[in-house]
Structure 1
Amino acid sequence: MTQDSELDVLVRTRIRGLRVAKGWSLDELAARCFLSPSTLSRIETGHRRISLDQLSVIARALGTTIDQLVEPPGDEDVVIRPHRDPARGVTTWMLSADPGVTVAKMRITRPARQGVDELKVHPGTDWFTVLSGTLTLLLGERTILVETGQAAQFSTMVPHAFGAHGGPVEILGILDHDGQRTHLRP
């Protein structure tokens, strides 16, 4: 009897796809996850139900996680839509779903403001590269212009702010949790 659940089909397809992508035979994957080749074959074809402990060792052997094997196939995360904040002059495209580190593309139209109230301090490190335009980075007492193709990294414990210089600027940034909360939230 075969399993008809869409999730079962998805998981079986992903297991087989990952095995084939690695160039492994059923025997090779079976040896890596301590299952018999016939058991693994029946799992891939839907003639055997996958237990949680089997799924765990198969995922580990394939270099993935159970979460990745069972994640829904929806296309809602394929197209990344911009989030606009006109008051701050920032449009953001969130490029990562990792809760620990955020990768974001940002289009900044507002110039950097020199006021003390504009400079932020928070734990962590910010890193960005300028995709187009020129970015003004206010870092403590310094004003640094970062141009297209250049990158910057700095401790966010130094008071800082950034903005467009001479027109819109687009950057690709990597932020930790504190950086995301400070730079990507109104």
Structure 2
Amino acid sequence: MTQESDLDSTVRMRFRSLRQARGWSLDSLAERAFLSPSTLSGIETGHRRIGLDQLMALARALGTSLDQLVETVSADDVVIRPQCEEQRGLTTWVLNRGSGPAGITVARMRITDEARGPGADQLGVHPGKDWFTVLSGTITLILGERAIRVETGQAAEFSTMDPHAVKARGGPAEILCILDHDGRRTHLRSPA
């Protein structure tokens, strides 16, 4: 199969999937894109070539961009091989490339029993919100004067303008956290 036919097939699949996700029939999408249902059916099944004018009309009708419809993604773009970063009692793996949408960073952290988690030596404050879920173990979330126990399978979301810290409780614990730009800068050793 050629690269052109791979892209063609991918674009057809994206049209069909977007249409079905919206619960639209061929007639409904055809009406929105100012195409005939038979033209749209031929495009989706591969019996008709897709013209640039049709691509643009379909992208507009589906509420997406032409770039998103035709972008190619290789296997190298999909798999992330996070690098392990260790500091006293804390091991961190950043799970996305750079900053994600709206400056969001996803990280996995392993916090050991004898050590404290990110910012635990002193309570930290920064603009925004932090979110984490406990993958294993138990975490003590310190928010100002409060100590909140967060166990495996539970999650926490809090304003980071409250003085805060995270500690492992009773043994090592692992969390998956989502940090905004300020949270990344505060909690990760090498910010992007």
Q: Which residue of 2 aligns with 1:159?
A: 163
Write the mapping of 1:2-151 to structure 2, written as runs, cut at 5 A: 4=4, 6-19=6-19, 24-41=24-41, 43-44=43-44, 45=46, 47-51=49-53, 54-62=54-62, 64-87=64-87, 89-94=90-95, 98-100=100-102, 102=104, 104-110=106-112, 111-112=115-116, 115-116=121-122, 119-151=123-155
1:74, distance to aligned residue in structure 2 (A): 1.6
**Compared with structure 1, are the counterparts of its residues 109 and 174 closer, same or farther at alpha carbon in structure 2 (3 Å cutoff)?**
closer
Matched residue of 1:90: which SS?
strand
Structure 2 gaps of 5+ residues are: none
Measure the CA separation in 2 of the matches of 1:106 and 1:23.
36
**Compared with structure 1, are the counterparts of its residues 101 and 138 closer, same or farther at alpha carbon in structure 2 (3 Å cutoff)?**
same
Matched residue of 2:186: which SS?
helix
Measure the CA separation in 2 of the matches of 1:63 and 1:169.
42
TM-score, with structure 2 as normaliser: 0.70
- Say whether the 8 Å CA contact 1:139–1:160 is kept in structure 2: yes
**Compared with structure 1, are the counterparts of its residues 40 and 114 closer, same or farther at alpha carbon in structure 2 (3 Å cutoff)?**
closer
TM-score, with structure 1 as normaliser: 0.72
Matched residue of 1:86: which SS?
strand
1:25, distance to aligned residue in structure 2 (A): 4.6
* Percentage of pairs with the same residue: 58
Cα-Cα RMSD = 3.4
Deviations 1:31-80 (A, max 9, x none): 122223344356443524223xx435423533544443223232235444
Deviations 1:68-102 (A, max 9, x none): 32232322354443331112522325269742263
- Say whether the 8 Å CA contact 1:92–1:184 is kept in structure 2: no
- Say whether the 8 Å CA contact 2:107–2:178 is kept in structure 1: no
Measure the CA separation in 2 of the matches of 1:107 and 1:40.
48
